[in-house]
Protein backbone atom coordinates (compact mmCIF):
# COMPACT_ATOMS: atom_id res chain seq x y z
CA UNK A 1 0.00 0.00 0.00
CA UNK A 2 2.89 2.37 0.70
CA UNK A 3 4.30 1.91 -2.77
CA UNK A 4 1.22 1.08 -4.84
CA UNK A 5 -1.63 2.88 -3.10
CA UNK A 6 -4.82 1.73 -1.45
CA UNK A 7 -6.56 -0.13 -4.26
CA UNK A 8 -7.14 -3.87 -4.38
CA UNK A 9 -8.67 -5.06 -7.66
CA UNK A 10 -11.10 -7.94 -7.29
CA UNK A 11 -11.09 -10.65 -9.94
CA UNK A 12 -14.69 -11.86 -10.12
CA UNK A 13 -15.29 -13.61 -13.44
CA UNK A 14 -19.08 -13.52 -13.35
CA UNK A 15 -20.82 -15.14 -16.33
CA UNK A 16 -22.16 -11.71 -17.41
CA UNK A 17 -18.68 -10.19 -17.33
CA UNK A 18 -17.22 -13.08 -19.33
CA UNK A 19 -19.96 -12.55 -21.91
CA UNK A 20 -19.26 -8.81 -21.96
CA UNK A 21 -15.61 -9.61 -22.66
CA UNK A 22 -16.74 -12.02 -25.42
CA UNK A 23 -15.27 -14.96 -23.53
CA UNK A 24 -16.86 -18.33 -22.99
CA UNK A 25 -18.14 -19.25 -19.54
CA UNK A 26 -15.59 -22.05 -19.25
CA UNK A 27 -12.07 -22.62 -17.95
CA UNK A 28 -10.41 -21.12 -21.03
CA UNK A 29 -12.52 -17.96 -20.71
CA UNK A 30 -11.74 -17.81 -17.00
CA UNK A 31 -8.01 -18.08 -17.62
CA UNK A 32 -7.98 -15.39 -20.29
CA UNK A 33 -10.04 -13.08 -18.07
CA UNK A 34 -7.86 -13.63 -14.98
CA UNK A 35 -4.50 -13.22 -16.69
CA UNK A 36 -5.70 -10.14 -18.59
CA UNK A 37 -6.59 -8.46 -15.29
CA UNK A 38 -3.23 -9.40 -13.78
CA UNK A 39 -1.30 -8.07 -16.78
CA UNK A 40 -3.35 -4.88 -17.05
CA UNK A 41 -3.52 -3.76 -13.44
CA UNK A 42 -1.18 -5.95 -11.37
CA UNK A 43 1.58 -3.38 -11.04
CA UNK A 44 -0.89 -0.57 -10.26
CA UNK A 45 -2.73 -2.24 -7.39
CA UNK A 46 -1.63 -3.08 -3.86
CA UNK A 47 -3.16 -6.54 -4.33
CA UNK A 48 -5.47 -8.62 -6.48
CA UNK A 49 -8.38 -10.48 -4.88
CA UNK A 50 -9.75 -13.42 -6.84
CA UNK A 51 -13.23 -14.44 -5.69
CA UNK A 52 -12.82 -18.18 -5.13
CA UNK A 53 -16.53 -18.98 -5.67
CA UNK A 54 -16.32 -17.87 -9.28
CA UNK A 55 -13.52 -20.39 -9.91
CA UNK A 56 -15.19 -23.15 -7.87
CA UNK A 57 -18.31 -22.97 -10.05
CA UNK A 58 -16.17 -24.44 -12.85
CA UNK A 59 -15.11 -27.40 -10.70
CA UNK A 60 -11.58 -28.77 -10.86
CA UNK A 61 -10.88 -26.94 -14.14
CA UNK A 62 -11.75 -23.63 -12.47
CA UNK A 63 -9.56 -24.38 -9.46
CA UNK A 64 -6.70 -25.20 -11.83
CA UNK A 65 -7.10 -21.73 -13.34
CA UNK A 66 -7.07 -20.22 -9.85
CA UNK A 67 -3.84 -22.09 -9.09
CA UNK A 68 -2.34 -20.69 -12.29
CA UNK A 69 -3.45 -17.17 -11.43
CA UNK A 70 -2.03 -17.33 -7.89
CA UNK A 71 1.29 -18.61 -9.22
CA UNK A 72 1.35 -15.90 -11.89
CA UNK A 73 0.70 -13.24 -9.24
CA UNK A 74 3.61 -14.55 -7.19
CA UNK A 75 5.89 -14.61 -10.25
CA UNK A 76 4.91 -11.03 -11.08
CA UNK A 77 5.44 -9.78 -7.52
CA UNK A 78 1.75 -8.95 -7.10
CA UNK A 79 0.15 -9.71 -3.74
CA UNK A 80 -2.86 -12.02 -3.87
CA UNK A 81 -5.80 -12.27 -1.49
CA UNK A 82 -7.91 -15.39 -1.95
CA UNK A 83 -11.46 -14.38 -1.11
CA UNK A 84 -12.53 -17.79 0.16
CA UNK A 85 -14.23 -16.78 3.45
CA UNK A 86 -13.24 -20.03 5.12
CA UNK A 87 -14.28 -20.97 8.65
CA UNK A 88 -14.92 -24.29 10.41
CA UNK A 89 -14.11 -26.25 13.55
CA UNK A 90 -10.41 -26.21 14.33
CA UNK A 91 -9.53 -29.62 12.90
CA UNK A 92 -11.07 -28.74 9.53
CA UNK A 93 -9.75 -25.21 9.74
CA UNK A 94 -6.25 -26.70 9.79
CA UNK A 95 -6.95 -28.17 6.36
CA UNK A 96 -8.22 -24.86 5.00
CA UNK A 97 -5.11 -23.18 6.40
CA UNK A 98 -2.95 -25.80 4.74
CA UNK A 99 -4.63 -25.17 1.38
CA UNK A 100 -4.41 -21.36 1.34
CA UNK A 101 -1.46 -20.46 3.57
CA UNK A 102 1.16 -23.22 3.43
CA UNK A 103 4.39 -22.74 1.48
CA UNK A 104 4.24 -25.04 -1.52
CA UNK A 105 0.48 -25.48 -1.60
CA UNK A 106 -0.91 -25.18 -5.12
CA UNK A 107 -3.50 -22.71 -3.81
CA UNK A 108 -1.18 -20.67 -1.58
CA UNK A 109 -2.05 -16.97 -1.63
CA UNK A 110 -0.50 -14.05 0.26
CA UNK A 111 -3.67 -13.79 2.34
CA UNK A 112 -7.05 -15.42 2.66
CA UNK A 113 -10.40 -14.16 3.91
CA UNK A 114 -11.84 -16.00 6.92
CA UNK A 115 -15.26 -16.18 8.54
CA UNK A 116 -15.12 -16.09 12.36
CA UNK A 117 -18.72 -17.12 12.93
CA UNK A 118 -17.78 -20.49 14.41
CA UNK A 119 -15.91 -18.42 16.98
CA UNK A 120 -12.77 -16.35 16.43
CA UNK A 121 -10.58 -18.91 18.19
CA UNK A 122 -11.68 -21.61 15.73
CA UNK A 123 -9.51 -19.74 13.22
CA UNK A 124 -6.37 -20.50 15.27
CA UNK A 125 -4.76 -22.92 12.76
CA UNK A 126 -4.97 -20.26 10.04
CA UNK A 127 -3.78 -17.45 12.34
CA UNK A 128 -0.78 -19.52 13.37
CA UNK A 129 0.11 -20.76 9.91
CA UNK A 130 -0.19 -17.25 8.42
CA UNK A 131 2.15 -15.92 11.11
CA UNK A 132 4.55 -18.80 10.49
CA UNK A 133 4.73 -18.39 6.73
CA UNK A 134 4.70 -14.59 6.51
CA UNK A 135 1.18 -14.47 5.11
CA UNK A 136 -1.95 -12.70 6.28
CA UNK A 137 -5.63 -13.21 6.94
CA UNK A 138 -8.63 -10.90 6.66
CA UNK A 139 -11.37 -11.78 9.14
CA UNK A 140 -14.97 -10.76 8.42
CA UNK A 141 -16.07 -8.13 10.92
CA UNK A 142 -18.69 -5.87 9.32
CA UNK A 143 -19.55 -7.11 5.86
CA UNK A 144 -20.76 -4.86 3.05
CA UNK A 145 -24.14 -6.59 2.57
CA UNK A 146 -27.14 -5.17 4.45
CA UNK A 147 -28.07 -8.60 5.89
CA UNK A 148 -24.77 -8.79 7.78
CA UNK A 149 -25.94 -6.34 10.43
CA UNK A 150 -28.46 -8.84 11.87
CA UNK A 151 -25.55 -10.96 13.09
CA UNK A 152 -22.65 -8.53 13.33
CA UNK A 153 -24.44 -5.69 15.17
CA UNK A 154 -26.00 -8.08 17.67
CA UNK A 155 -24.79 -8.28 21.24
CA UNK A 156 -21.73 -10.48 21.46
CA UNK A 157 -21.27 -10.54 25.23
CA UNK A 158 -19.06 -8.35 27.41
CA UNK A 159 -21.38 -5.43 26.59
CA UNK A 160 -20.25 -5.13 23.00
CA UNK A 161 -21.41 -6.18 19.55
CA UNK A 162 -20.25 -9.31 17.74
CA UNK A 163 -18.27 -7.12 15.32
CA UNK A 164 -16.58 -5.23 18.16
CA UNK A 165 -15.57 -8.56 19.70
CA UNK A 166 -13.97 -9.65 16.43
CA UNK A 167 -12.13 -6.35 16.11
CA UNK A 168 -10.85 -6.75 19.68
CA UNK A 169 -9.66 -10.30 18.95
CA UNK A 170 -7.78 -9.10 15.83
CA UNK A 171 -6.23 -6.29 17.86
CA UNK A 172 -5.01 -8.81 20.44
CA UNK A 173 -3.40 -10.90 17.68
CA UNK A 174 -1.73 -7.90 16.11
CA UNK A 175 -0.44 -6.62 19.43
CA UNK A 176 1.27 -9.79 20.53
CA UNK A 177 2.02 -11.82 17.40
CA UNK A 178 5.54 -12.37 16.16
CA UNK A 179 4.58 -10.48 13.02
CA UNK A 180 4.04 -7.32 15.07
CA UNK A 181 6.27 -4.61 13.63
CA UNK A 182 8.60 -2.74 15.94
CA UNK A 183 7.47 0.64 14.61
CA UNK A 184 3.86 0.04 15.56
CA UNK A 185 2.81 -0.56 11.94
CA UNK A 186 0.14 -2.94 10.75
CA UNK A 187 -0.12 -6.54 11.90
CA UNK A 188 -0.95 -9.59 9.78
CA UNK A 189 -4.48 -10.11 11.02
CA UNK A 190 -6.69 -7.88 8.94
CA UNK A 191 -10.39 -7.22 9.12
CA UNK A 192 -13.05 -7.06 6.42
CA UNK A 193 -15.15 -3.96 6.92
CA UNK A 194 -17.47 -2.97 4.10
CA UNK A 195 -17.18 0.43 2.46
CA UNK A 196 -20.97 0.53 2.73
CA UNK A 197 -21.33 0.26 6.52
CA UNK A 198 -22.09 3.96 6.99
CA UNK A 199 -22.08 4.99 10.64
CA UNK A 200 -21.83 1.45 12.03
CA UNK A 201 -18.29 1.91 13.37
CA UNK A 202 -19.33 4.94 15.42
CA UNK A 203 -22.67 3.41 16.38
CA UNK A 204 -20.96 0.25 17.67
CA UNK A 205 -18.04 2.12 19.27
CA UNK A 206 -15.37 0.32 17.22
CA UNK A 207 -11.97 2.04 17.03
CA UNK A 208 -10.39 0.35 14.02
CA UNK A 209 -7.20 2.43 14.16
CA UNK A 210 -6.41 0.80 17.51
CA UNK A 211 -6.57 -2.72 16.06
CA UNK A 212 -3.45 -2.30 13.87
CA UNK A 213 -5.37 -4.37 11.32
CA UNK A 214 -5.13 -3.86 7.58
CA UNK A 215 -8.74 -3.14 6.59
CA UNK A 216 -10.06 -4.82 3.47
CA UNK A 217 -13.03 -2.71 2.39
CA UNK A 218 -15.29 -4.16 -0.30
CA UNK A 219 -18.25 -2.21 -1.61
CA UNK A 220 -16.47 0.43 -3.64
CA UNK A 221 -17.96 0.87 -7.12
CA UNK A 222 -20.65 -1.68 -7.99
CA UNK A 223 -22.11 -1.73 -4.46
CA UNK A 224 -22.38 2.05 -4.45
CA UNK A 225 -19.66 3.34 -2.11
CA UNK A 226 -17.25 6.05 -3.26
CA UNK A 227 -13.75 6.94 -2.11
CA UNK A 228 -15.21 9.94 -0.28
CA UNK A 229 -17.62 7.63 1.57
CA UNK A 230 -14.69 5.46 2.63
CA UNK A 231 -12.80 8.41 4.11
CA UNK A 232 -15.87 9.45 6.14
CA UNK A 233 -16.73 5.90 7.24
CA UNK A 234 -13.20 4.98 8.36
CA UNK A 235 -12.04 8.35 9.72
CA UNK A 236 -8.68 8.01 11.52
CA UNK A 237 -8.33 4.42 10.27
CA UNK A 238 -8.54 5.44 6.59
CA UNK A 239 -4.74 5.10 6.05
CA UNK A 240 -5.12 1.40 6.93
CA UNK A 241 -7.85 0.79 4.35
CA UNK A 242 -7.25 -1.44 1.35
CA UNK A 243 -10.30 -0.62 -0.75
CA UNK A 244 -11.42 -3.36 -3.08
CA UNK A 245 -13.46 -3.03 -6.25
CA UNK A 246 -14.30 -5.84 -8.66
CA UNK A 247 -17.16 -5.21 -11.12
CA UNK A 248 -16.63 -1.45 -11.02
CA UNK A 249 -13.23 -1.96 -12.65
CA UNK A 250 -13.77 -5.21 -14.55
CA UNK A 251 -16.64 -3.71 -16.57
CA UNK A 252 -14.04 -1.47 -18.26
CA UNK A 253 -12.49 -4.56 -19.93
CA UNK A 254 -11.52 -6.42 -21.98
CA UNK A 255 -9.27 -3.65 -23.37
CA UNK A 256 -6.24 -3.74 -21.01
CA UNK A 257 -5.68 -0.01 -21.40
CA UNK A 258 -9.24 0.76 -20.32
CA UNK A 259 -8.93 -1.64 -17.40
CA UNK A 260 -5.69 0.02 -16.34
CA UNK A 261 -7.22 3.49 -16.63
CA UNK A 262 -10.21 2.42 -14.52
CA UNK A 263 -7.86 1.12 -11.83
CA UNK A 264 -5.63 4.19 -11.95
CA UNK A 265 -8.64 6.54 -11.74
CA UNK A 266 -10.01 4.64 -8.71
CA UNK A 267 -6.56 4.76 -7.12
CA UNK A 268 -6.39 8.52 -7.68
CA UNK A 269 -9.81 8.98 -6.08
CA UNK A 270 -8.73 6.94 -3.05
CA UNK A 271 -5.55 8.98 -2.66
CA UNK A 272 -7.41 12.28 -2.99
CA UNK A 273 -9.97 11.25 -0.37
CA UNK A 274 -7.31 10.65 2.31
O1 LIG B 1 -18.28 -7.91 3.05
C2 LIG B 1 -17.91 -8.34 1.96
C3 LIG B 1 -16.93 -9.31 1.83
C4 LIG B 1 -16.53 -9.69 0.59
N5 LIG B 1 -17.08 -9.16 -0.53
C6 LIG B 1 -16.58 -9.62 -1.84
O7 LIG B 1 -15.94 -8.53 -2.51
C8 LIG B 1 -16.27 -8.55 -3.88
C9 LIG B 1 -17.05 -7.30 -4.23
O10 LIG B 1 -17.33 -7.25 -5.60
P11 LIG B 1 -17.90 -5.94 -6.32
O12 LIG B 1 -18.11 -6.36 -7.72
O13 LIG B 1 -16.87 -4.86 -6.19
O14 LIG B 1 -19.17 -5.59 -5.63
C15 LIG B 1 -17.05 -9.83 -4.14
O16 LIG B 1 -16.12 -10.83 -4.47
C17 LIG B 1 -17.65 -10.13 -2.77
O18 LIG B 1 -17.88 -11.52 -2.57
C19 LIG B 1 -18.05 -8.20 -0.42
O20 LIG B 1 -18.58 -7.67 -1.41
N21 LIG B 1 -18.45 -7.82 0.83
The pLDDT mean for the chain works out to 96
Q: Is the ipTM of this complex over 0.85?
A: yes
Q: Over the stretch 101-117, which tens digit does the pLDDT of each residue have?
A: 999 999 999 999 999 99
Evaluate: CB of 152 within 6 angstroms of ligand 1. Answer: no
Residue of 244, 250, 262 with the most ligand 1 atoms within 8 Å of its CB, for mutation:
244
- Give yes or no for residue 12 CB within 6 A of ligand 1: yes
Residue nearest to atom 3 of ligand 1 (CA): 143
* CA atoms within 13 A of residue 44's CA, in its CB half-sphere: 20
pLDDT at 212: 95
Q: Catalytic annotation on 85? A: yes
Q: What are the structural domains of the chain? A: 1-79+243-274 (3.20.20.70), 85-105+113-218 (3.20.20.70)
Residue 214 beta carbon below 6 angstroms from any ligand 1 atom: no
Residue 49 bridge partners (DSSP): 10
pLDDT attached to residue 184: 61
Digit-coded pLDDT (tens) for 188-245: 999 999 999 999 999 999 999 999 999 999 999 999 999 999 999 999 999 999 999 9
Identify the residue whose C-alpha is closest to ligand 1 atom 10. Answer: 246
> Would you say 42 and 73 are in contact if contact means Cβ atoms under 8 Å apart?
yes
Confidence label for 185 from pLDDT (cuts 50, 70 and 90) = confident
Confidence check: pLDDT of 50 > 80: yes
pLDDT digits (tens, 9 = 90+) for 115-152: 999 999 999 999 999 999 999 999 999 999 999 999 99
Amino acid sequence: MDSRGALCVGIDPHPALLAGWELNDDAAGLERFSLTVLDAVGEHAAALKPQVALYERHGSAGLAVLEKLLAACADAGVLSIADAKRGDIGSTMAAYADAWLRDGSALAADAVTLSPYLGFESLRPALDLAAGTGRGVFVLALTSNPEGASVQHAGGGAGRSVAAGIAAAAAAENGTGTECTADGGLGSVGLVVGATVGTALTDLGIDLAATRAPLLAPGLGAQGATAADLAVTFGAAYPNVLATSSRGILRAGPDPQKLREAALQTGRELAAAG
